[in-house]
Amino acid sequence: MKILLTGAGGQIGTDMLPILVSRGDEVLAFDLAPRPDTCPPEVEWLRGDITYAAEVNTAVERFQPDRIFHLAAILSAVGESVPHRAWRVNMDGTRNVLEAARIFGVDQVFYTSTIAAFGPGLDQPVGDHVPLRPTTMYGLTKVAGELLGEYYEHTWGIDFRGVRFPGLINAGIPGGGTSDYALFMYVDGMRDGRYESFCTPEAKIPFMYMPDAIRATLELSDAPKEKLGQSIYNIAAMSPSADEIADAVRARIPGVELTFAPDPLRQAILDSWPDALDDSNARRDWGWSHEFDLEAMSDDLMPKIRALIGDPGVPA
Ligand code: SER
């Protein structure tokens, strides 16, 4: 299968590329950034700007993908510091992708939405079909992207589907999200022996380990359309508090110093997001099931982070 991956150099794309290659997919990676060393040699890397329709159209016309996995986005924390750029990348970028899919007859556009699509005051766990009243630029553009995709589906017949990801954790470089404190506890905890989280110890949002997130993407993308009762699905795995994550890191890195100094802006974003998601529709319609909880993820992560940073750097 031919897959065009936008935002291929980001946190998700970096881990997804080798998995697509191992499945035998032919992949065109589209990103503003230059080709990273981690990109498998089988992948063609095309530097391009998602906000310019001509660049997206050229990529889609030439490559003729069967599916586009649209990952390119400005995330929540960065989005609040450059809201106009977040609007351009998230709104114009998504419209450009959908337009290119319409013009050049791409079968499926897979959209990566987020817990940031939700706003405060919802009953927990939060289901798929609730009022979407996000308070961040990132969240509101993601909601609009969900709706725009559904518009292209019913107006132009594009197969549009996607997931609302929890905060994602991997042995990688995060992309400017508000959920990044969790990843930094593991990576900075191992590399520097300490990390100060920008949230309270009680902060609690849904999280997912990257291998589960990538598997969810591929499973939903491959699911028979007739099984899907909706286009966008919540998916869930775990909802640890920041302190519970810290305890999981402390149990694996002796002597690590994990402290908390809440930043008002990012804490307010976390407070506006769900504590937990109800993903029963994904489990029913396409058999979604997570594999990793906090303990399993933490065990799996440690050797990968060690490989990422080269040297454990763990204090005695
Ligand atoms: N990880 C994202 C963020 O923090 C949420 O989708 O912005």
Q: For 56-85, what is each residue's pLDDT tens digit? A: 999 999 999 999 999 999 999 999 999 999
Is there a single domain that holds both residue 99 and residue 179?
Answer: no
Is there a single domain that holds both residue 223 and residue 264?
Answer: no
Higher pLDDT, 97 or 172: 97
Is there a single domain that holds both residue 156 and residue 139?
Answer: yes
What is the rounded average pLDDT of the residues 293-301? 98
Is there a single domain that holds both residue 24 and residue 156?
Answer: yes
Q: What does residue 237 show for φ and ψ, rounded to 5 degrees?
A: -140, -50
Is there a single domain that holds both residue 246 and residue 143?
Answer: no
What is the rounded average pLDDT of the residues 81-104? 98
Is there a single domain that holds both residue 187 and residue 229?
Answer: no
- Give the per-residue pLDDT at 28: 98
Which are the catalytic amino acids?
138
Q: Ligand 1 centre from 172 Cα, in Å?
A: 15
Do the domain assignments include residue 287?
A: no
Q: Probe ligand 1: pick from 142, 163, 180, max atoms within 8 Å of CB?
A: 180
Q: Probe ligand 1: pick from 78, 81, 115, max atoms within 8 Å of CB?
A: 115
Domain membership of residue 268 as a residue range? 169-206+238-276+292-309
Q: Which atom of ligand 1 is nearest to the CA of 178?
A: 4
What is the rounded average pLDDT of the residues 99-108? 98
Q: Probe ligand 1: pick from 76, 118, 269, max atoms within 8 Å of CB?
A: 76
Burial of 316 (C-beta count, 10 Å sphere; 0-12/13-18/19+): exposed
Host H or E run for residue 146: helix 137-156
User: Is pLDDT above 50 for 18?
Assistant: yes
Q: How confident is the model at residue 153 (pLDDT cuts 50, 70, 90)?
A: very high
Is there a single domain that holds both residue 225 and residue 176?
Answer: no
Name the residue with the closest Cα to ligand 1, atom 2.
Answer: 177
Q: Which atom of ligand 1 is nearest to the CA of 114?
A: 6
Lowest mean pLDDT among 49-63, 149-163, 173-187, 264-278: 173-187
- Alpha-carbon distance 243 to 257, whole Å? 12
Do the domain assignments include residue 158?
A: yes
What is the rounded average pLDDT of the residues 265-276? 98
Strand partners, 46: 30
Q: Which residues line ligand 1 (CB under 6 A)?
A: 75-76, 114-116, 138, 165, 167, 177-179
Name the residue with the closest Cα to ligand 1, atom 3.
Answer: 177
User: Is pLDDT above 50 for 181?
Assistant: yes
Cα 37 to Cα 5, 14, 154: the distances in Å are 17, 10, 40
- Alpha-carbon distance 169 to 298, whole Å? 10
Do the domain assignments include residue 49?
A: yes
**Per-residue pLDDT reduced to its tens digit, 184-203:** 999 999 999 999 999 999 99
Is there a single domain that holds both residue 62 and residue 151?
Answer: yes
| Angle at CA of residue 203, ends 198 and 204, nearest 5° | 135
- Give the per-residue pLDDT at 313: 47
Q: How confident is the model at residue 311 (pLDDT cuts 50, 70, 90)?
A: low
Q: Ligand 1 centre from 267 Cα, in Å?
A: 13
| pTM of structure | 0.96
Q: How many domains does the chain have?
A: 2
User: Is pLDDT above 50 for 314?
Assistant: no
Query: Are 171 and 307 spatial neighbours (Cβ–Cβ below 8 Å)?
Result: yes
Q: Are strands 207-209 and 257-260 parallel, antiparallel or unpaired?
A: unpaired
Check which CATH number belongs to the domain holding 192 and give it.
Answer: 3.90.25.10
